[in-house]
Every structure is written in structure tokens, then in C-alpha cells.
Chains A and B, each alone.
Chain A
Amino acid sequence: GNSVTQMEGPVTLSEEAFLTINCTYTATGYPSLFWYVQYPGEGLQLLLKATKADDKGSNKGFEATYRKETTSFHLEKGSVQVSDSAVYFCALSGARKAAGNKLTFGGGTRVLVKP
């Protein structure tokens, strides 16, 4: 079946540091890949997505590139801010022609950015 593995946290960084959160996946076919973010006290929201190999998703200074050869979708940001403190989830969907778009999530990575 489908699975997503992402690095465990917590990840603690200083402001303006470089952030990488590794994510690898297992799926048959050609899944779509997502990063979701959950800020403290808020609901889960989509951060970025990529729907085919070599696509780069980007939003709010974050980027992730769909690498089919390494089955990876690592999240990066060049200079984090305190406001980036959150839990980040890597997810995939649509790997098979199953009904719907159910998401398979990784375990989440908590990021804490200190001033």
C-alpha cells in the first residue's frame, strides 16, 4: 500500500536558518504530493503541492520538488521566521485509480523557530 515517511521532530532552529524536512514515499503509479501545515491552535491547511515528476511546488518561501527517481518530496525554506513554527505533514494521493482523493500522511514534523 501507499506510505509516507518523514523525518521525526522536533526540529529547533534559529531565525533566518535554513530548513529542510525530508519526505519519502512508497506508491504505485503516479501520485500527487502535498505538504500541509498546522500552525498552533489552527486547522490543517495546504502549503504546497506537485502533481507530476520534476514539478516544484512553492508557497510562502517554501519549496519542494517532486523527485520520482528518489521517491522524495523534501520541503525547504532558505530563511525561516518565528511565524513558521508549526507541524508540517507530507502527504500523497491519487496513486491508483481509486475513487476519490484520499490522502496518505506522514507522521508530521514539529518545527520550532527561536528568535
Chain B
Amino acid sequence: GAGVSQSPSNKVTEKGKDVELRCDPISGHTALYWYRQRLGQGLEFLIYFQGNSAPDKSGLPSDRFSAERTGESVSTLTIQRTQQEDSAVYLCASSFSGTSLNEQFFGPGTRLTVL
């Protein structure tokens, strides 16, 4: 595809349920990032992948959050036992490599609502 895609675009779940969010980066991009944007706030960094490894997980808010990447392509962000404060738009971005000279291209996001 031409850009970063994410699915689902919207997800409504009940408190306590697990959810999986998917990101398909631009083909050939080795770096992949997850961010989240809570209502009325800026974006918060969650995790960074270089290839299939995650050298920076410092933004994951708790051990309920995990992410993996396979085949240097698709990434999934999993939130276990969701809480209402997890409600946010989750954004994925990819770049050619993980240096500051490479623009990050963002997907349209997944809007997660935890009831």
C-alpha cells in the first residue's frame, strides 16, 4: 500500500477485555513506532521497533500493554484487561530507518473506547 494502515479504525470494548490493534507500515520501512493520543492531549510515545526488535519500550504505561512485530512488517499492540483510561486514539508510524533524518509517516489511527 501507499501509506501506513491500521485496523480496526474503531474499537469499542468492555472494561476487562483484551484488545489487539494492528499496524501495516510502509513497505521497506525498518522503523515502526506506536503512539497514543488521549482526548485533548498530545501524542505520547509507547514503543519503537527497529526490524523485529524493540530497543525502546519506555513509553508502555503498564505491563498490560505489549507489542510485537514480525517479518519486519506488521505490528500488533495488545492491551490486556482494558481499563477506561486506556481509551484513546492509537497511532502507528513508520520510517525508512530510525534516525532523525527520516520522516515518520503516520497511519490514520485506531480509536479505542473502553466502556
Whole-angstrom CA separation of A98 from B47 in the bound complex? 13
Chain A residues with a Cβ closer than 8 Å to the other chain, count = 25
A-side contacts of B101, CB under 8 Å: 51
Is A100 an interface residue when CB atoms closer than 8 A count as contact? yes
- Docked Cα-Cα span, A106 to B43, in Å, equals 8
Are the C-beta atoms of B55 and A100 separated by less than 8 Å? Answer: yes
Is B100 within 8 A of A99, CB to CB? no
Q: How many residues on B have C-beta within 8 angstroms of the other chain's C-beta atoms?
A: 31
Contacting pair B48 A102 (CB below 8 A): yes
Residues 18-56 of chain B: 1 if any A CB is under 8 Å from the residue's CB, otherwise 0? 000000000000010101000011111100101000011
Give the shortest distance, in Å, between A36 (CB) and chain B (any CB): 8
Contact residues in A for B102 (Cβ distance below 8 Å) = 101
Chain A-chain B contacts (Cβ-Cβ < 8 Å), number: 71
Contact: B98 with A100, CB < 8 Å? yes
With both beta carbons as reference points, the residue of chain B lying nearest to A98 in the complex is identified as: B56
Which residue from A32, A43, A102 sits with its C-beta under 8 Å from B45?
A: A102
- Nearest B residue to A99 via CB reads B55
Checking A46, A49, A51, A103 against B43 with a beta-carbon cut-off of 8 angstroms, the contacting residue is: A103
B100 close to A93 (CB less than 8 A): yes
The answer to whether B75 has its CB under 8 Å from any CB of chain A is no
- Do B55 and A46 touch across chains, with their CB atoms under 8 A apart? no
Q: Does A22 contact B (CB under 8 A)?
A: no
B4, B45, B107: which contacts A103 (Cβ < 8 A)? B45
Measured CB to CB, the residues of B under 8 A from A are: 3-4, 31, 33, 35, 40-45, 48, 50, 55-56, 59, 91, 93, 95, 98-109
List residues of A whose CB falls within 8 A of some B CB: 4, 32, 36, 42-46, 49, 51, 89, 91, 93-94, 98-108
